[in-house]
Amino acid sequence: MHPRPIKDNVFAVGAVDWDRRLFDALIPLPDGTSYNAYLILGSQKTALLDTVDPAKADVLFENLKGVERIDYVIAHHAEQDHSGCLPAVLARYPMAQVVGSTKAKGMLIDHLHLEASKITAVEDGATLSLGDVTLEFAHTPWVHWPETMSTFARESKILFSCDFFGSHLAQSDLFVKDEEFLYEAAKRYFAEIMMPFRTNIKRNLERIKDFPIEMIAPSHGPIHPRPAFILDAYRDWVGDTPKNAAVVAFTTMHGSTELLVERLVASLAERGVKAFPFNVAEGDIGKLAIALVDAATIVIGSPTVHVGLHPKVAYAAFLANALRPKAKFAAVIGSYGWATKMAEQALALMPNLKLEVLPGVVVKGMPRAEEDEAVEKLAETIARKHKELGLA
């Protein structure tokens, strides 16, 4: 690999990680990821924007071969997948000064033990001249850490946004080629790390709206040559109004809960509610996160294990609580053998969500005709509640 030109004097020097399948020991990466770093060769100064995950340090340094001087390293974010190579970069380029937000300075000292004198903290709106290139810093915090900032390169009109607008997607092309394919990867990424901070993300969209952006270069996944595509998607995802959709996170042991789920999904579909059944014992949890971005209702479906909630369903409920989606309603369906506290446990795992709880259906053994009717009634209630919100 060598520096790959993007536009004017801007080059990609990061690394693609084709084989990584899990992030934070939590997030599935079906399509790998990339750690994007960019080099800007100004007429007077050179800046490196972010580094890469330490596991790919060799790729970064191979790409920087021949670069004799780096004056600034812009550290948009202190998380190690972007900042982890800073100590090695500073060892190789001892004249370089690290530039980050005020919060980032403290975090880089704590996390990477950098010397305070090596870091310049910049305020929101501050600028840095590289000669014929002007970098303007925009604080865009809580994308998912509190210190994150973006950089707008005024002359090339590129926004370097770090995790913001990123996607875990490994590809050989530098730019987005297939927007439909990218959409799911970007939505998955938003759901997994940014959804809990929707209000902040909304503010960040406001913060950057006056930049005449012609390209968005994030720190994961391909570069957006058509910024309107990803900006429109984000405006939709951060909106407060959910869609006429229900997520059914369930698993089944002997088939009773699955029968309830099948009936509920069919009944919701008949009433025009888009239902997404997701078996948490088998599926890619990222798909559940994606569905939670839009859903107005979360249905938990669980058999009973030792009188309680199935542990895999508990994981899904706990995750939903952590991701804080905009859903308004919840219900629990499921089954038991002799006694159950499954429904109470499921609801107790989602205190962050402020959901209106709808009457659920819990059956002993296989569902009977009257329990089928109760499932129909639940579907009817969900459809009516969505309609009352103006979603249908």
- Minimum CB separation from ligand FEO for residue 33, in Å? 8
92 within 8 A of 65, measured Cβ to Cβ: no
Cβ neighbours of 240 (radius 10 Å): 8
Residues that bind ligand FEO in the complex, under the rule CB under 6 A: 77, 79, 81-82, 144, 163, 219-220
- Minimum CB separation from ligand FEO for residue 59, in Å? 16
Residue number with CB closer to ligand FEO (101 or 251): 101
Residue number with CB closer to ligand FEO (112 or 281): 112
Q: Burial, 136: exposed, middle or buried (Cβ in 10 Å; 0-12, 13-18, 19+)?
A: middle
- DSSP assignment of 101-146: EHHHHHHHHHHH---GGGEEEE-TT-EEE-SS-EEEEEE---SSST
SS3 90: helix
Q: Rounded to 5 degrees, what angle do the CA atoms 210, 45, 90 make?
A: 105
Residue number with CB closer to ligand FEO (78 or 208): 78
119 within 8 A of 100, measured Cβ to Cβ: yes
Residue number with CB closer to ligand FEO (157 or 203): 203
- Between the CA of residue 103 and those of 85, 198, 287, what are the distances in Å? 19, 20, 33
- Minimum CB separation from ligand FEO for residue 375, in Å? 41
- Minimum CB separation from ligand FEO for residue 117, in Å? 26
Residue number with CB closer to ligand FEO (144 or 385): 144
- Minimum CB separation from ligand FEO for residue 71, in Å? 24
Residue number with CB closer to ligand FEO (75 or 382): 75
Residue number with CB closer to ligand FEO (23 or 152): 23
Phi-psi region of 390 (alpha: psi -120 to 50; beta: other; left: phi over 0): left
- Minimum CB separation from ligand FEO for residue 79, in Å? 4
Residues 6+ apart with CB under 8 A from 338: 364
Q: Kind and range of the H or E element at 318?
A: helix 311-323
Residue number with CB closer to ligand FEO (188 or 328): 188
Using Cβ positions, the residue closest to ligand FEO within the complex turns out to be 79
Q: Tell me, rounded to whole angstroms, the distance of Cα 108 from its chain centroid.
A: 22
- Minimum CB separation from ligand FEO for residue 77, in Å? 5
271 within 8 A of 379, measured Cβ to Cβ: yes
From CA 378, how far away is CA 373, in angstroms rounded? Answer: 9
Euclidean distance between the first and the last CA atom of the chain, given in angstroms as a whole number: 51
- Minimum CB separation from ligand FEO for residue 231, in Å? 20
Q: Burial, 377: exposed, middle or buried (Cβ in 10 Å; 0-12, 13-18, 19+)?
A: middle
- Minimum CB separation from ligand FEO for residue 296, in Å? 29
Residue number with CB closer to ligand FEO (20 or 144): 144
SS3 27: strand
Cβ neighbours of 92 (radius 10 Å): 13
